[in-house]
Copies of this chain bind each other. A is one copy, B any other.
Amino acid sequence: MARKLAAFVRLSEVDLVVMSDLYRRRRRFSVGVDMIHQGQTDQSAFVLASGWASSYKILPSGSRQIVNIQIPGDFLGLRSVLFRTADHNVEPITVVHASEVRQRDLLSAFSQTPRLATAVLWAASRDEAMVVEHLVDVGRRTATERMAHFLLELGARLRLVGLGTREGYLCPLSQYLLADTLGLSAVHVNRVLRELREAGMVTFQKGRVVFDDYNALVEHASFDRAYLDHDGPLLH
């Protein structure tokens, strides 16, 4: 995370010390145990050390929308500490190890090292950019485009933390999770994956995503990774 923030704001020694202190509270979560629960007050944020998690909202009708999938290195639940009550749920997808960041610690870190607030603002904006792209996915792309776009984005993010290559990556997401992420039904997700596989673009089977034809996939999804790359410190 420090590396991520440093991409935007040049952090001093002091900044780094204050930050590392935020990491002190290590926790472990099993699948099925909420990390953050919608409607609860006084929730924490987390920095994922290992494992995958999902942030989602549940509708009264029972259907749910996954807002984003978090991978190691991600900072999650910021809104749940900035607001009095959490407006979303976060649930592990695999076993998760994470550092808990309490509200008071975060806010006091902000006042101790003001640049940290700016850096976190930047990180939150990068996050928002992803949600926006996700909205475009769901609002204006067909099912296969959505799926292609999603798998590419995930791949790009995993590569940034060394968990993927241009060839592919390990992916613990079930088709149900994909469905709730992409606003589709699980059945249709299955068909879409088959289509993409038969078209020779990606193969997602047995927990592994393999890019059979990366360029064709990029083309099909009209994937432009600009929104993920915003490096080079703006603030000195």
Contacts and interface: CB of A to CB of B under 8 A. Distances in A.
A136 interface: yes
Contacts of A117: 110, 114, 117-118, 121
User: How many copies are assembled?
Assistant: 2
Nearest to A110: B118
Contacts of A131: 128, 131-132, 135
Contact of A127 (B128, B135, B141): B128
A87 B131 CA distance: 12
A94 interface: no
B135 A232 contact: no
Contacts of A136: 57, 59, 65, 67
Interface in A109-134: 110-111, 114-115, 117-118, 120-122, 124-129, 131-134
26 contacts: A59-B136, A59-B222, A63-B140, A64-B140, A65-B136, A67-B132, A67-B135, A67-B136, A82-B230, A82-B234, A83-B126, A84-B230, A85-B226, A87-B132, A110-B118, A111-B114, A114-B117, A117-B118, A124-B124, A124-B125, A124-B128, A127-B128, A128-B128, A138-B183, A139-B183, A140-B183
A68 to B, nearest CB: 9
A192 to B, nearest CB: 15
Contact of A107 (B64, B227, B235): B235
Q: Is the interface of A mostly helix, strand, loop or mixed?
A: helix
A61 B222 contact: yes
Given A128-B127, A139-B65, A234 B121 contact: no
A88 interface: yes
A116 to B, nearest CB: 9
A141 B118 CA distance: 35
A88 B234 contact: no
A66 to B, nearest CB: 9
Interface string A28-43: 0000000000010000
A78 interface: yes
Given A59-B136, A138-B138, A83 B124 contact: no
